Structure 1
Amino acid sequence: MKTVIIDYGMGNLRSVQKAVESLGYAAEISSDPQIVTEADKLILPGVGAFPQAMENLQKKDLLPAIKAALDRPFLGICLGMQLLLSSSEEFGLTDGLNALPGRVEYFRKSVNFPADLPVPHIGWNDVRQKKDTLFKGLPETFTAYFVHSYYAVPDAASVVSGVTDYGIDFCSALEKDNIFGVQFHPEKSGENGLQILKNFLEI
């Protein structure tokens, strides 16, 4: 079973790899489209801005390989989850992978978002489960570590697998068939995060 962590120049790749290895699994970090295409499971981490991420994926010729690999177990983490959607309003409108129809929005653009709440959303917060494929073995509400200013708004409520309250209720996890996404960082979320990675690797 070959698990590949996709390297497109944005993200704490080694931290994700170390978390996977601590569970007794191997994971290769690669920016080679051929290796991505041949993977059995894929993890797309990400830290930074959506437009730069899409530009990097295009420059490294990874977009066709990723889109071809979306029929396998696929996990997007933080920015990697946001990239799975159709578009983002970060620094203007940018198209995403469109694996899950929807958009990425800025917290402060929500009319209900409290003016005195800091952005970015940084630190530990609760995730309320809506589906348990990725969260098997965890309580219905568990804590995870977040760092982000934008959040996913999927078109279909049926793909939301986790919800978090930060001034507003927002989608903190996605799931559709073999495609998964988490807005938080499982590699920074202690035992809860390791359980989530274990569940993904055992799919």
Structure 2
Amino acid sequence: MSAATPAKRVVVLDYGFGNVRSAERAVARAGAEVEITRDYDRAMNADGLLVPGVGAFASCMAGLREARGEWIVERRLAGGRPVLGVCVGMQILFARGVEHGVETEGLAEWPGTVGPLKADVVPHMGWNTVDAPAGSRLFAGVPSGERFYFVHSYAVHDWEFEATHAAMTAPLVGWTTHGSPFVAAVENGPLWATQFHPEKSGDAGAQLLSNWIGTL
């Protein structure tokens, strides 16, 4: 009889701006071995890295840089190692964020600007559907019309992507509408991200996390 396949090891990056305990519990329920840490080597060597985020874009970026998180994310992606960003942990992957007229540089893994939601009711807090892209691995097995939990006041409204060579394919982008459409999820090689909180999204969120872990 062959030995059981060891569980994939996921690090939840602890840089001071995320619901790390909720993420830890949800990822563990989805079948991974989970550790909360900001240790550079452990984060680099994990099978998967989850980058949470709650609060202001500028504060999250400052905390990420203080924890050397930008180096961890960039070097993992350069080596094709999976990263999942959640909520503001997704927003900081874009080129910039603008809050109260102040612009802050993001990690620029994707072009685009995070700005205020264009809606009468802000923050966007509660359950909403996501228009998942065709061929999505992130949303595999999730019924159409399923709802996910959002808590945010800022989002990316204009998706900008330009292939730098012919072999490149465009990322898969999921959209949600609150007042106007905004980016709710992205799948781009080893880099996946969600504006909503899968760890707070019940069975649908658990399926997404299981799908991600299955790619590690």
User: How many angstroms apart in 1 are the aligned matches of 2:48 and 2:31?
Assistant: 15
Cα RMSD for the two superposed structures = 1.5
- Mark the CA change 1:188 to 1:174 in structure 2 (over 3 Å): closer, same or farther: same
SS at match of 2:33: coil
Question: Does 2:13 correspond to 1:6?
Answer: yes
The answer on whether the counterparts of 1:44 and 1:75 sit within 8 Å (CA) in structure 2 is: yes
User: How many angstroms apart in 2 are the aligned matches of 1:172 and 1:141?
Assistant: 14
The letter for the 2-side match of 1:144 is F
Structure 1 stretches (4+) deviating beyond 3 angstroms? Answer: none
Question: Does 2:121 correspond to 1:118?
Answer: yes
TM-score, length-scaled by structure 1:
0.91
Aligned ranges 1:62-77 → 2 under 5 Å: 62-70=69-77, 71-77=80-86
Show CA shifts across 1:135-159 (max 9, x none). 0001233200000011124312943
What's the offset of the Cα at 1:160? 4.6
What's the offset of the Cα at 1:24? 2.5
TM-score, length-scaled by structure 2:
0.86
Comparing 61-70 with 155-164, greater Cα deviation is found at 155-164
User: How many angstroms apart in 1 are the aligned matches of 2:129 and 2:69?
Assistant: 33
In structure 2, the residue matched to 1:171 is: 183
Aligned length: 196
Show CA shifts across 1:6-26 (max 9, x none). 110011101011011112321
Show CA shifts across 1:1-60 (max 9, x none). 321111100111010110111123211111112221212211101110110111111112
User: How many angstroms apart in 2 are the aligned matches of 1:68 and 1:2?
Assistant: 18
The letter for the 1-side match of 2:144 is E
Structure 1 runs not aligned, ≥5 long: none
Percent identity between the two aligned chains: 39
Aligned ranges 1:128-167 → 2 under 5 Å: 128-131=131-134, 132-152=136-156, 153-156=158-161, 158-167=170-179
Larger-gyration structure (1/2): 2
SS at match of 1:129: coil
In structure 1, the residue matched to 2:56 is: 49
Comparing 163-172 with 187-196, greater Cα deviation is found at 163-172
